[in-house]
Structure 1
Amino acid sequence: MAGVTQTTARPDPLTLLRDRWRDRSPGLGAGLLGGAVAGVLGLASCAALVTLLWISSPYPDSGPEGALHVAASLWVLAHGAELVRADTLAGVPAPMGVTPLLLVLLPVWLLHRAARDATDPGDGVGLAVGSGVGAGAAARLAGESGLRDAAPPPVSSRFAWVGVVTGYLSVAAPVVVYASGGELRPSLWWTALCLPLVAMGAAGAGVWTAFGRPGGPVGRALRVLPRDLRELMVEPDARLGAATRAAGAGAAVLVGGGALLVAVSLVWHGAAAQDAFLRLTEGWSGRFAVLLLCLALVPNAAVWAAVYALGPGFVLGAGHVVHPFSSAPAPLLPPFPLLAAVPDAGPGTPLHWAAGSVPLVAGVVVGWFTARAATGAPVAGAAAGPEGGAGAGDGAGVWSWRRTVWAAVVAAVLCGGLVALLAAFAGGPLGSAGLARFGPVWWQAGGAALAWVVVPAVPVALVVRGWRGRGAASREAAGASVPEVAPESGKAAEEGGRRWGWASVRVPSPGRWWKRGEGGDAGGAGAAEDEDAVPYGLYDDEDGDAPYDLLPADPPAEPPSRG
């Protein structure tokens, strides 16, 4: 025993450092890995497609290195960055900035998925604790099950977002450097601007989705606005989310209507489109490449057609504007199938003017969605007033006409901004001089969308609000004496020979305590038929459906006070 020396096992310093770094920044490592994997997958998809087309091409002028340079530049173009073509007849580099919108979906989806997975590890523990909304419930659940010590540390949204963006940009940086050596190279200025913005925006949307799309960050971002304006937009009657949904529906109708216009025009000019498709190339691989390019540019064509229906139209080079009242297509355009859908040169006809029905329908849709929000959202404690809440004659939860008009105007502004953003991405230069501009002008598209949408949206919202408001008021009057009680939400207790209980009453909100006669089933299905049931008090609950453990198990002897 004298020769035995006791030693203490000490962990590796690198292991201690790694564990300490992981505990202090949970989610950063997963975010770095997820962002890097997203970048590699997007680049590999572009490289595989370009390499397949290069191998199958009967005229492979460049070697594999040239194909890889094109793949890297194409991946950078998918982020909205502008490319520069160095090999031109004039010897002057020519920009190429028309980004296929369908190509943008790949990096955005990969970034969104990586950020969502890095924020939510899959067991829901980090998500609930970090969200702030379900943090208390998750903590109680972990404490009751005895798994608090075994649970992983909560994932920080900030670290997850930073990790995904950093990992993605660490892959993008060498790719940009490599692509700069090809004939089709990315513009460094546009790359430095667009790539980080796309990465930060898509990753932020992924983190937001992982936390259940809470409205807290939006409210904090709007604190810079004046208080009155912020209350009109967010609290509590004209929530910004309702206007955003209406604006999204209007923009979707505009783009969908534009796609329908493109399809009709292609069918009308079917012979010209087929001739352009066959004239571009003779090999099947080349025609397959042209077909893929046309598919990638279909969303661009839909946006162009939507702006055409709005009135400003689009340009096909300097001095060649196409809109419903006249069309002056450029005479030196290449034979491309989608360009065959451009209206023939000359003044507009009633058939071209009929395209104005697309923005008209979009305005009606925005008004309808606004009216649905105005009559479908319950307003807690809404009192009759000239400026807020539900006015006189309105049903419970029905916005006043001023708030409805304001919500419709906000939705129209958001719709115009969204259309302007799509127009800016859908167009760009295809060269210099006469080819310096292709597509719609973003500020003209946004202004026209605002004007077209706000004119029908406001009266439609008011009319539909009045129609649905009367129905809501009649339903409320019918349910005032016999409220609708959730059958599964009651609790009962015996006290003094009478039965008491509480229930979550859905019409109207919030929930109420009910006093029951003998033999009544408090909170059950027969509660509405109990003639002795009378309202006994109120409890405050914003959603009108508070969990059971937030209320006392036994009713108090006196009416509970509010707040």
Structure 2
Amino acid sequence: MAVVIRMTARRPSLPSRRSSSPPLLSRVRDRSPGLGASLAAGALAAGLGLGSFAVLAIALWVSSPYPDSGPGGALHVAAALWLLAHGVELVRTDTLSGVPAPVGVTPLLLLVLPALLLYRAARYAVDAPDGDDPDAPPPVRARTAWAGVVAGYLGVGGCAALYASGGELRPQWAWVAVCPPLLAACAAGAGVWTAYGRPREPLLSLVPVLPGAVRRRLLGRDTRVRWGTALRASLAGTAVFLGGGTLLLAVSLVGHGEATRASFLQLTEGWTGRCAVLFLCVSLIPNAAVWSASYAVGPGFALGAGHLVNPLASDPAPLLPPFPLLAAVPQHGPGTPVNWVAGVVPVVAGVTVAWFVAARAAERRWSAERTAGVVALAALLGALLVAALAELAGGPLGVAALTCFGPVWWQTGAATGGWLLAVGLPGALALRAWRRAGAASLAAWLGFAGRTPQDGQAAAKEQTQGSRTPSASTPASTPASGPAPAPALAPAPVFVTGLLPDQIDGDGYASERYEALPAEPHEVLPVDPLPGPWEDEAARKARWTALRKLSEPDAEDTDGP
């Protein structure tokens, strides 16, 4: 009986299991659901990307009239293309000479798919509540979500690289160790940062790393506004570069339409092969736009070792493969005025940068030095962005003469920065001065020249106080018999839209012909009070009785209300 009592009796209060656990184990247990979901999101993003390339490769293999490699070969090609979309350089082992040939030109359009999948996976891994629901669970920590997405993505990517190494297109492991982790870290970081509302703290944490001189130069007053303006201006200038390059490509393709059509029909005969060539051409259009932009800024691009193409001269390689985009290359020989028209693209890009910076400079009333500094910063950011695109758009396509294809990144970046600075700096200063002069002219025409709203309010306040406060020369009191003279009114600003600028003085007042007339003195008439009998109580009751008799003849006499 005593044993039963001891077993059923309530024990004294003991620390719970959760509180008795080590703090580190409790934190891991609390974060494990977020970490697991982040790992699953990263793996799912990699699987969706691989599945997209696998569906495309299998569809082309099934419809091909020569399916020699089998479904395994198609899947190997899909994995290799997925790695190529991340910037990984491949090696083609099945060549006529038996020497492995590198394939390093990354189709920029294919790069968008894995970057977008990683970005969306990181945003969903944070699992931030949409509204202000107090009962909603807190979002996953940024480090946990970012690390989980990157780890899950790279885990699937490593398996895909191992599988692709057994095919004809094999990845180079040095590029595998650099490109996919870099893309995963950047895209997932952008997704987590966006899910948290784009906070400034992660960016400001990098400030202590900068040297003191650079920090004082770059970080001063209006830091956020200046950097935001420079970033928007550089993105707008880069968009103009890419748009101008696409326009140049389209014009060249139309001009070489016969050669383009012949090269497209020469590559393959079946509709399956032509669909594959068309898909490859579409995925390489952004690359060709970057090549055309590099051609417009001056350095041009290389079609093999020693064969440069720029507006001053064109030296195409003699043994180029028949490909529709390569058919748009200018003809061999020195440049003509038709080729020099491409220089309009960097000029328009520089004017675009100047317009963005000048608009903000006029709004914030920046000095000329600060405006020039923002233009220089925008030119630097635009040069770095275009140089990165030029590096991604080119690469080797073989050995010997085919080791250099595309623009040289540092030459393209330097030329882009020079154009943006040379055109954007004087353009921004001129637009800034024009905007300020135009605003001053408009204010003068409307009658606000030399007067700010604060000045107008102060003048009105002074006039009000002056009208209420008697001056020293005015007597303190006037005789009761005579009327009080009206106070002299100060001339008030009169803004008439029909006035000419010469009819308005420098203080914003109209000339004497348009001044307000002062009020004439007048005699205040006394107000007679109501007669006494009207307010008498007996008279009021008598009037009320008479009114009742007139309206109701049968009514009895009453004393009213």
TM score, norm. by length of structure 1 = 0.73
TM-aligned CA deviation for residue 227 of structure 1: 4.1
Amino acid at match of 2:47: V
Q: 1:431 to 1:77 in 2, by over 3 A?
A: same
Q: CA contact under 8 A between 1:26 and 1:155: conserved in structure 2?
A: no
- Give deviations 1:277-330, integer Å, cap 9, x for gaps: 111111111111111110000000000000001111101111111111111111
Q: 1:249 to 1:178 in 2, by over 3 A?
A: same
Aligned to 2:292: 305
- After superposition, residues 51-62 of structure 1 pair within 5 angstroms as 51-62=58-69
Matches of 1:330 and 1:208 in 2, distance apart? 46
TM-aligned CA deviation for residue 182 of structure 1: 0.5
Q: Does 1:328 align with 2:312?
A: no
Aligned to 1:447: 414
Amino acid at match of 2:386: V
TM-aligned CA deviation for residue 208 of structure 1: 1.5
Aligned to 2:454: 480
- For residue 235 of structure 2, the aligned residue among 238, 241, 248 is 248
Matches of 1:240 and 1:26 in 2, distance apart? 38
- Give deviations 1:79-125, integer Å, cap 9, x for gaps: 01100001112222111000000000000000011111212434356
Q: 1:171 to 1:463 in 2, by over 3 A?
A: same
Aligned to 2:382: 415
Q: CA contact under 8 A between 1:375 and 1:472: conserved in structure 2?
A: no
Q: CA contact under 8 A between 1:317 and 1:436: conserved in structure 2?
A: yes
Aligned to 1:340: 327
Q: CA contact under 8 A between 1:234 and 1:240: conserved in structure 2?
A: no
TM-aligned CA deviation for residue 404 of structure 1: 0.6
Q: CA contact under 8 A between 1:26 and 1:154: conserved in structure 2?
A: no
**SS of the residue aligned with 1:420?**
helix
Aligned to 2:366: 399
Q: CA contact under 8 A between 2:304 and 2:404: conserved in structure 1?
A: yes
Q: 1:345 to 1:28 in 2, by over 3 A?
A: same
Q: Does 1:107 align with 2:114?
A: yes
Aligned to 1:180: 165
- For residue 275 of structure 2, the aligned residue among 284, 288, 296 is 288
Amino acid at match of 1:268: G
Matches of 1:308 and 1:299 in 2, distance apart? 14
Q: 1:271 to 1:123 in 2, by over 3 A?
A: same
Matches of 2:453 and 2:56 in 1, distance apart? 62
What number of residue pairs does the alignment pair up?
439
Q: CA contact under 8 A between 1:237 and 1:399: conserved in structure 2?
A: no
TM-aligned CA deviation for residue 452 of structure 1: 1.0
RMSD (Å) for aligned C-alpha atoms: 2.6
**SS of the residue aligned with 2:302?**
strand
Gaps of 5+ in 1: 126-141, 377-396, 484-563
Larger radius of gyration: 2
Amino acid at match of 1:279: Q
Q: 1:87 to 1:216 in 2, by over 3 A?
A: same
Aligned to 2:96: 89
Aligned to 1:436: 403
Amino acid at match of 2:379: A
- After superposition, residues 327-406 of structure 1 pair within 5 angstroms as 327-376=314-363, 397-406=364-373
Matches of 1:25 and 1:233 in 2, distance apart? 41
Q: 1:217 to 1:19 in 2, by over 3 A?
A: closer
Q: 1:477 to 1:52 in 2, by over 3 A?
A: farther
Amino acid at match of 2:73: G
Matches of 1:35 and 1:266 in 2, distance apart? 40
- The structure richer in helix per residue is 2
Matches of 2:334 and 2:9 in 1, distance apart? 95
Aligned to 1:467: 434
- Give deviations 1:130-178, integer Å, cap 9, x for gaps: xxxxxxxxxxxx7xxxx4xx43134211111111101101111111000
Q: CA contact under 8 A between 1:262 and 1:341: conserved in structure 2?
A: yes
Amino acid at match of 1:278: L
Q: CA contact under 8 A between 1:327 and 1:348: conserved in structure 2?
A: yes
**SS of the residue aligned with 1:27?**
helix
Q: CA contact under 8 A between 2:302 and 2:407: conserved in structure 1?
A: yes
Q: 1:26 to 1:405 in 2, by over 3 A?
A: farther
**SS of the residue aligned with 2:331?**
coil
Gaps of 5+ in 2: 11-15, 458-561
- After superposition, residues 505-516 of structure 1 pair within 5 angstroms as none
Aligned to 1:46: 53
Amino acid at match of 1:263: A
Q: CA contact under 8 A between 2:49 and 2:114: conserved in structure 1?
A: yes
TM-aligned CA deviation for residue 471 of structure 1: 5.7
Amino acid at match of 2:107: P
Q: CA contact under 8 A between 2:129 and 2:137: conserved in structure 1?
A: no
Matches of 1:470 and 1:35 in 2, distance apart? 55
TM-aligned CA deviation for residue 30 of structure 1: 2.4
Aligned to 1:495: none
Matches of 2:28 and 2:9 in 1, distance apart? 27
- For residue 154 of structure 2, the aligned residue among 142, 149, 169 is 169
Q: 1:192 to 1:477 in 2, by over 3 A?
A: farther
Q: CA contact under 8 A between 2:129 and 2:138: conserved in structure 1?
A: no
- Give deviations 1:386-431, integer Å, cap 9, x for gaps: xxxxxxxxxxx31111011011011111111111100000000000
Aligned to 2:41: 34
TM-aligned CA deviation for residue 351 of structure 1: 0.2
Q: 1:121 to 1:216 in 2, by over 3 A?
A: closer
Matches of 1:34 and 1:320 in 2, distance apart? 46
Matches of 1:438 and 1:255 in 2, distance apart? 19
**SS of the residue aligned with 1:159?**
helix
TM-aligned CA deviation for residue 27 of structure 1: 3.4
TM score, norm. by length of structure 2 = 0.74
TM-aligned CA deviation for residue 481 of structure 1: 5.4
**SS of the residue aligned with 1:337?**
coil
Matches of 2:222 and 2:324 in 1, distance apart? 49
**SS of the residue aligned with 1:271?**
helix
**SS of the residue aligned with 2:325?**
helix
- Give deviations 1:5-44, integer Å, cap 9, x for gaps: 7599x99999x99985352467322221111110000000
Q: Does 1:213 align with 2:206?
A: no
- The structure richer in strand per residue is 1
- Give deviations 1:207-259, integer Å, cap 9, x for gaps: 12112223332232233224453344343335222111111111110011000
Q: CA contact under 8 A between 1:416 and 1:447: conserved in structure 2?
A: yes
Q: State, as a whole percentage, how many aligned pairs show the same letter.
A: 58
Q: Does 1:318 align with 2:305?
A: yes
Aligned to 1:196: 181
Matches of 2:384 and 2:99 in 1, distance apart? 35
